Each structure stands twice: as structure tokens, then as C-alpha cells.
Structure 1
């Protein structure tokens, strides 16, 4: 919590003054009680519970003054605020290993289906953009609320060689910067860091490790400087499985010399390993969360839980009115109780 007028907190010094005046008044009352009749002695012998109850009004009064003082200082709190105008960039891995068949019929097909359902679920909400990456990254669809064009773009994905996770994050940042003036593009000065997160997030769906291009740690720092969170999803198992591509997903270009080294053995089995530590660091650096999905159902669950996370951002809200209202209620309660307990009987 921060204060717009912190010097107003000096008014809190009134409270010790009130205690001093009350102590002085009680001291004078005790001296006078010695000279009164036995009725006064009876009142001083009342049960401890009654004496304790009579301390409630002063305590409420002091608490009310404290709240009014804090309210006068114009406190501001960082609170979660839903943002339907957020921008989401979905970065999909289309490297050759996405044709692995540990997910039926293969990872790429399952990822396309889950991505389509995710996009449909955001209809009428945040803008969604698509980035695909293999050996390089490219913007497939700029952030838009046109659900049909986004889903249609998923139909024509071809796998490629390599995995450029870091470049995918930077490409996503630039796509966000095109529609969100609060986010600086890569290569530009992001300005002084501000509290909270931007109304934008990047979801990276990958089944492997960065093999070329920008280091994911560098890309993560760039995203963090712009307050853009990254939510990586590690997809697929880590066991060697056959790789089977549909004709529409695999054109064969550049793969002839790849079999047997680096990514696949001569039997066409995927032996790559998911780099979970790197993905977890990416999430931690940017303020996002990492999700693991070994099958299509887990992938759909992971994507389904994300919107409630990154469409809620933190903004500064002036809470002075709440403190003022609370202080007024406490003071009113103190005066009411005092008048009630001291009414003529």
C-alpha cells in the first residue's frame, strides 16, 4: 500500500493526546470519588466485565480516528482487476517432433484441436494472436477478435526443423506492441518498470527444447521488462515414440538429412527431451506459471485454466473512501454505545 499524501499520517499524533487527556480525567475522577457517598464506592466495585465493556466506546473511537487518518493520507492498493481487453498471443511449436504419436493421432493434431477450443472460449473477450515456431518464429495471425480467422489459420500448419522458443517469445512481444501502446517492441527502451502486469500474456506450447535462435532466458527478461507474463506448456511424454505426420502437416523439405541425428533415430522415433527447467525459469522470470500436459485432456485443462489467470491484472486503486467510511462507522458506533450506556435510568 502506498500513500498520495503521506504527511497526513502525522494526524495520528492526535490519538496519544486523547489517551493523555483521558488518563488525566480519570485521575481527577478517582480523587473526587473519595469524597462521595457509599454509592460511588459501590460503582467502583462493579464486576470486571462491566468495566471492560465500558472501554469499548473509547476503543472504537480511537480505531475510527486511526482509519480516518489513514484515509486522509489517500492510500492506494494494488488489487486484481478483470481485463476483457487483454491481448493473448498463442505461440505454437510446429517442430518435427510435434508429429510424435504418444498423443493420438499426433501431438500437432491434438495441439491444433486444443488451441481451437481455447480460441473459441475467448470469443467476445481478449484479442488473440497466433505465432508459430520451428527453426524460426513468425506471426501467423495478428491479435484479433475474429475467431473464425484464428481457427481457420490452424488448419494449414506444416512442421519444420528446429525449435526457436526464445524467438517465438520476442515475436509475440512485437505482435502485442502493435496493438498495445503500453508494451514497447523488442529493440526499443521499455521505460521504467512499473508495478503490476500489462494487459497481455504469451502462451508458449512446446514439446522440446530451444535449439537455435535467441536464448529463452534473454527473451524472458525482455518480456519481464515489459510486464508481459509468459505461460509455458510442456506437451507430450518423454518416452521414445514413433513419428507419423499427415500429408497436410509434413512436406519433407529439409528433413532428409535430419533423420538419424539430433531429433530422430533411423527408425523414425522421437527421442527428444522436454526442457522443463528452462520453461519453468521462463514462467518464474515473467510472473507466469508453467503447466505440464502429457495428453490431449491435460492440454485442454491447462489451456482452460489460463484465462482466469492472465485476464486478471493488478491495478492501483484509491482506497481512501473505504478507510473514511470505516472510520465514520466506528466513531458513530462509539458515540451510540456511549450514549446508550450513560442514558438516565
Structure 2
């Protein structure tokens, strides 16, 4: 324990002075009673001294001691639990995200959901943004700066096709803090590559309609994410019935591919949610399994001492009232 104003501890010198004064007062009372008993003015006491008579004064003295210590503003190292980890918001920015089967569009609905998600995160969680269409880019590296994350989300616009697999790879790269090269043509059908490491306190919130239109296979890359300990929580945007979108004068049918998104979630031990559920992002926040750690911080605990002193003061006053009918 440390003290912000250590010189105030000299006030504790008053405590032994008060103890000496209290003992002197007791002796004075005993001598006075003995003198009166010798003159026959009071009966000589044959009862054993009542030790409980010291309880109230001792409690009051302890309360005073704590109050004097609190004047020095004590501080202690306190362990505080924190939820820590990295969450990547991976946005599908393909042309199909301009469809209006979610109001006002799928992408705008995804942005609104992501903003709500960002607002609920504690400051100890780092957030990043990945945008994927035909290719994928890290729009915002993981950071604790919420303003930068929100600005990256606002810049997203729909264009091109959908490469879910590349979005997953870029999300893993953002989590790892380095580019990830992947062998997409492993003989066993799995994605191989360099040693990724393990990121058990990281997760990807994948906001997409699930309509994959180009290689690599997102389910193969989901296996890679699972190997790295990264869980993926897809948010399905759009309707299973689908809608028709006009692109460059052509009409293109688009619908929500829930089957693919659910398989990605299952492969990575995550969970799938439909964006039509207004509580979807709240559920994701609850379900994401990030690390709980204990961080030690120096905290002023003056209020603790003051509270303990107040409690002792009340106890001392109560004991005194019960014994003698008065506080002092």
C-alpha cells in the first residue's frame, strides 16, 4: 500500500497520546473512588473490573485511527477482471449488398448493426474492419479507437462479386497482425500454409448474404480459421426468398444463402444469426468467447478507510448507548 500524502501519517501520533490520556483518566477515576470509599462515602467495590467497559472506547479509537490514515490518501494495487480480445467486423461489400430486401439496403442494415455492436464493446476489446467483394482488404487494423472503426464502416460501398473465403483470410491476417499466405489447393482439400499461431480470444463477425461467387472455397478457409482458434459468427443479411437487383441495366436475382453461413459457423464453433432478428448483434456480443484477464491497477482506497471508520464509529456509539445510555 502506498500513500499520496504520506506526511499526513504524522497525525497518527495523536493516537498514543489519546491512549495515555484514556488510561490516565481511568486511574484518576479509580483513585477518586478509592478515596471516597476510605472516607465511607461510597461502598468499597468487591466486584471484578468490567473489561467490556473498554470496548466502546477502543472501537472509537480504531475509527479515529482509520480516519487519520485516510487523510494520507492510501492507494493499493487492485486486480480487476477485464474482457479482452480482438473482434473483426468482416463486411460483404459485393453488389448484391445493395439489394433492398432489408431496409434501406443490406449493406446499410449491416452498417447499422455494426455501429450498435461497436457501441456495446468495452474499451479493452480491439476492433478491426475487413471489406470483401471480388477481393478483400483490411479497412481498419484492430484498434481500441472506436472513432476510427466507425469511420471505416461508413466508408464502405457495394461493388463487385463475393469472395467469402478471401474475407475470412483477410480477417485472420488482421487478427494475426501479418499477411497470411494460404495454399488453396491442398491434396486433402484443406487449406495449408504457414504456421498461423493460435488466437483463442479472437472472433470474426461476418456480415454477408452468403452468396459466394468466386474462389477460394469459404468452407475450406473456415477450417483454417478453426485451426487458428478463431470463431466466426455470421450475420445473415437478406431474405431466403431473395429479390431482383438491377446492375448495369441487367436484372440479377439474389437471395440469402443461409446454408453456407451456417456451415461456416459450425466449422469454427461459432453461431449463425439472421439480421432480421433485431437482437442478433446483442446475442453475438453475449456469445463471443473472449478472454477474461485480471489486470492490476493502482487505485486510491481512501473511501474504503472512511467507510470502515464510519462503521466502527457506529458500533462504538451503539455499544456505549447499550452500556451507559449515552454515546460518550
Q: TM-score, normalised by structure 2?
A: 0.56
Alignment partners' CA distance in 1, 2:248 and 2:153? 25
What does residue 137 of structure 1 align with?
A: 136
What does residue 288 of structure 2 align with?
A: 310
Deviations 1:146-166 (A, max 9, x none): 000111122222211110111
What does residue 154 of structure 1 align with?
A: 153
Which one has the bigger strand percentage? 2
What does residue 256 of structure 1 align with?
A: 248
Q: 1:188 to 1:167 in 2, by over 3 A?
A: same
Say whether residues 1:189 and 2:195 are aligned partners. yes
Q: What aligned pairs does 1:226-265 form with structure 2 within 5 A after superposition? A: 226-241=228-243, 243=245, 256=248, 259-260=250-251, 264=252
Choose from 198, 201, 204 the match for 2:203: 201
Q: 1:203 to 1:185 in 2, by over 3 A?
A: farther
What does residue 273 of structure 1 align with?
A: 255
Give the CA RMSD over aligned residues: 2.6
**Would you say how many aligned residue pairs link Structure 1 and Structure 2?**
203
Deviation (angstroms), 1:219: 0.6
What does residue 210 of structure 1 align with?
A: 212
Choose from 269, 276, 297 the match for 1:287: 269
For the pair shown, the structure with the greater C-alpha radius of gyration is: 2
Deviation (angstroms), 1:234: 1.0
Asked whether the 8 Å contact 2:85–2:201 carries over to 1, the reply is yes
Specify every segment of 5 or more residues in structure 1 that has no aligned partner in the other structure, as ranges: 1-81, 245-254, 265-270, 316-345
Q: TM-score, normalised by structure 1?
A: 0.54
Runs of 4+ more than 6 Å apart: none
Q: 1:165 to 1:153 in 2, by over 3 A?
A: same
What does residue 42 of structure 2 align with?
A: none
Q: What aligned pairs does 1:21-170 form with structure 2 within 5 A after superposition? A: 84-170=83-169
Alignment partners' CA distance in 1, 2:122 and 2:82? 14
Alignment partners' CA distance in 2, 1:289 and 1:240? 22
